[in-house]
Every structure is written in structure tokens, then in C-alpha cells.
Amino acid sequence: MNLYIYHGRLAPNGGATDIEGNEVDDWGFEGPTLENCVGFHTTYFNEGHFNVYFADEVARKAAQAKTGWKDWDETALTVEMEDGCLRLFNSERQRTEYFGDWGMK
């Protein structure tokens, strides 16, 4: 499975924006796709942990490079959240980005 990340914005409590940060009346920009996910686990979603598990360490490291999320263990990363949004550090654009929609398929 892959984890698809959508509905991008540059502020957690703002509306959707395009890639440059201009407000849009749409879903905003897309985030990275994290490949080779095998599952996730959440405990007390708003105040606890939300971990994404990967098929192997190679997939975890690739996802970590795209998100900046910290290791949970050898095959999992802890998703970072802020104000109900998924938060990641986009190393390519050298900025923190927020997303309001994500799913696995």
C-alpha cells in the first residue's frame, strides 16, 4: 500500500494553498506519496501516537527523507500532527507543510 497525502497548506489553521502559498478554493497542493506501507496504528489520535509501518527499513528511510518524521522502530515512523493537520518537513522545498487529507491504498 501507499500513503497518499493531499489538501496542502502552509499554515495548520489556514485554508488550502497552492505550492507557492497562495490561497485557493480547491484542495491545495499534493504532498509526497509514501510507498510500501503495510499498516498504521493510532492511540488517542489527537494527543497520542499515530505510527505508519513500512515493509522494510529501506521503505521507512525513504519515507523519513520525504517527511522528516522520527523513527518509532526499525519499520515505523511517528506521524507529526498539529491542529488536526498532518505536518511534515519538505526537505526539497526546505519548509514545513501541513495536510488535511491522507489515505492508504
Please report the pLDDT score of residue 14 as a whole number. 84
**Is the model more confident about 9 or about 83?**
9
Amino acid 47: pLDDT: 62
Q: What is the pTM of this model?
A: 0.89
Distance between CA atoms of residues 73 and 6, nearest Å: 26
Looking at the 3D structure of the chain, how many domains does it have? 1
Distances from the Cα of 90 to the Cαs of 53, 61, 78, 98, in angstroms?
Answer: 20, 14, 16, 10
Q: Which domain does 30 fall in, by range? A: 3-104
pLDDT, position 46? 59
Burial of 30 (0-12, 13-18, 19+ CB in 10 A): middle
